[in-house]
A and B are shown apart, each in its own frame.
Chain A
Amino acid sequence: MSEETNQDRRRFLGVGLGAAAASLAPGVVLYGVAQAKTDSEPASNKVRWGMLVDTTKCADNCDKCVSACATENGWDKHTGRAETRPQWMRKVTLKDKVTRRTTSLPMMCQHCEKPPCVDVCPTNASMKREDGIVLVDKHRCIGCRYCMMACPYKARSFVHEQVTDQKSYMPRGMGTVESCTFCVHRIDKGESPACVEACPEKAIVFGDMNNANSEISHRLRLFSTTQIRDDLRLNLGVRYEGI
């Protein structure tokens, strides 16, 4: 892909509306973000939200996605002990011991199709929404933390201290487990998750994996992507390119 087409692509993504298609490199066609559902419509299983991270674009020293997540969801103002800092999203650096190649990537809830956290939850608080987003229903969470132990990605954290001044769209409270929600409050409005918008390299693509015309589907079809710990066969909602 030449630099010029890349620029075109960015401009197109900046607009990111409607069903207009743009032809980029041979065989790569990009479509706009799917229409948002209406407020009264429930989430549908016709949609499977997914995220694709291009690790070749992900800079080693950049954590803009993490800080955007923290600000958006209100876990940036942690006043408790450092050991109990909430971690919805982390930057992880992988190093191949033989080739010494390093890869940097953001790590968060992988929104499994068959989530182990949901399997083990004794109160049905850990749940998967129809559109594939894995959430904690804090109304039901008793804080037992089985889900944290079951998660192969260490994606969940526990709220140890009293929280005040939460975001109205993202309630958080002591004694419950929390994790990445794919910014569900934004998705329901037709927006992208905060990390996707914050990435200066546009390394994260978000969209409906069930829609053959979405950008994420095109990329998954064309390029080799990885599911971390794919031996567990959880069919993840988050995929990585270049690892």
Chain B
Amino acid sequence: MPMRFLKQIRMTLGAMLSIALMGFALNLNADVPTPQIPKAVKGEQCVEETAFMRRNHMDLLDHQRDGTLRQGIRTKKHSLNGCLSCHVVKDSNNQAVTFQSEKHFCRSCHEYAAVKIDCFGCHKSTPDQSASSL
């Protein structure tokens, strides 16, 4: 008998806890702003699946940079230039914004995730004229 009683208490507590947690989670969603990720200017599909890109873009870029610089392999599929030319964000003067701007595609997410990137210490953060044809 006491065992059954305990089980009942456990179940009630569990249900209450999960309801409370759900409410908390919903609350979180309501209070914390999510990053405003600018939409790509060209096409509907990225070079890989969007979910894959969100998780693995850094590995692709790392692999690409070593191949390009150290081996001279110059395929364009995973190039930084390619990212920038599709994910360009224009300001009110129709000029591509640099990494200095909070609206920059990379920055909009990286700032939210608090992940510092140093790509643009050396790399240009806006697409080239010629790169827009990639």
Contacts and interface: CB of A to CB of B under 8 A. Distances in A.
Most-contacted residue by chain B among A127, A167, A171 (CB, 10 A): A171
Contact of B124 (A127, A131, A166): A166
Given A139-B65, A168-B128, A168-B131, A130 B122 contact: no
Contact of A171 (B67, B74, B98, B122): B122
A135 B69 contact: yes
Interface string A160-194: 00011111100111111000000010001000000
Interface of A: 37, 39-43, 127, 129-131, 135, 137-139, 163-168, 171-176, 184, 188
Contacts of A43: 71-72
Interface of B: 65-67, 69-76, 81, 98, 121-124, 127-128, 131
A167 B131 CA distance: 11
Contacts of B127: 168
Contact of B72 (A129, A165, A166, A167): A129
Contacts of B71: 42-43, 129-130
Given A41-B73, A42-B73, A168 B122 contact: no
Contacts, number: 56
A131 B73 CA distance: 12
A234 B65 CA distance: 29
Given A39-B75, A171-B123, 9 more contacts: A37-B72, A39-B73, A42-B67, A43-B72, A135-B69, A139-B69, A166-B124, A174-B121, A176-B122
Contacts of A127: 70
A91 B75 CA distance: 36
A137 B70 CA distance: 7
A138 B122 contact: yes
A39 B76 contact: yes
A127 B66 CA distance: 12
A40 B73 contact: yes
A37 B71 CA distance: 12
A39 B74 contact: yes
Most-contacted residue by chain A among B66, B81, B124, B127 (CB, 10 A): B124
A137 B75 CA distance: 18
Nearest to A133: B72
A173 B81 CA distance: 17
Nearest to B62: A139
